[in-house]
Amino acid sequence: MLVRIVYFGFLLGATFAKSYNPPSLNCGRQQCRDDGEVICGKLEDNYKLFTGSCAVLAHYCDTGEQYTIIPYDQCPPQAFNVPRSCPEQEDYVCATADNQTYRVFKNYCEYNNFLMVLRRVYWTVTLDHCIGLPDMPSGICSSLTATGGEVCAFDGTIYTLFPSVSALNQEKCFNNERWQRVSLIYC
């Protein structure tokens, strides 16, 4: 009798549990696009919000961290407003609050954490504004060395494949500061 109750309970749980089919873990280029759905993920005691299943896959491909997707209504408050740990990836951002004083960030994650903590309006500008600042690598806007292979970037409208990080930095230095490096799965 006990076996039947356990078996029946298992069947009920399997029937009514909300399932989520994670994206395949293919990290190759696939022009993946998010649909705008906010997804909550859990990895041990850490929670993270993602902007869609492609963002979950991109995070896995970039870091190796595989978050378990949980229902959005079960996502705790700390997932929404705590500065997150940032990847070491260099994707420099130059920002200002007054067009006179500039600040450089190693990547958009650090920039967003800064905004979250400071709660002051800053906006991004082309990287050439930050040349000479202590945290800005020298030669970032003049180097044409093609190292490291192709990189994918997004400017808020389109995804573009650049032949190298240097080519992306050239674009960010002089033409369009909005380019943000993203996982290759988007290109």
pTM of the model: 0.55
Pairing relation of β-strands 180-182 and 151-154?
A: antiparallel
pLDDT band at residue 34 under the 50/70/90 scheme: low
Pairing relation of β-strands 102-105 and 93-96?
A: antiparallel
Residues making up the chain, counted from first to last? 187
Instruction: Give me the mean pLDDT over the 5-27 stretch.
Output: 44
Q: CB-based contacts of 115: which residues, under 8 Å, 6+ apart?
A: 122
Which sequence spans correspond to the domains of the chain? 38-79, 141-186
pLDDT in tens, 123-148: 888 888 888 888 888 777 776 666 66
Provide the pLDDT for residue 161: 92
Q: Between 8 and 34, where is the model more confident?
A: 34
Is the pLDDT score of 63 beyond 60? yes
Average pLDDT, the chain: 76
pLDDT in tens, 142-183: 766 666 688 899 888 889 999 888 888 888 888 888 888 888
Provide the pLDDT for residue 97: 85
Provide the pLDDT for residue 53: 81
pLDDT band at residue 59 under the 50/70/90 scheme: confident
Structure tokens at 23: 């994206």
Q: Between 77 and 43, where is the model more confident?
A: 43
Q: How far is CA 139 from CA 127, 130, 131, 135, in A?
A: 11, 11, 8, 12
**What are the beta bridge partners of residue 152?**
161, 182
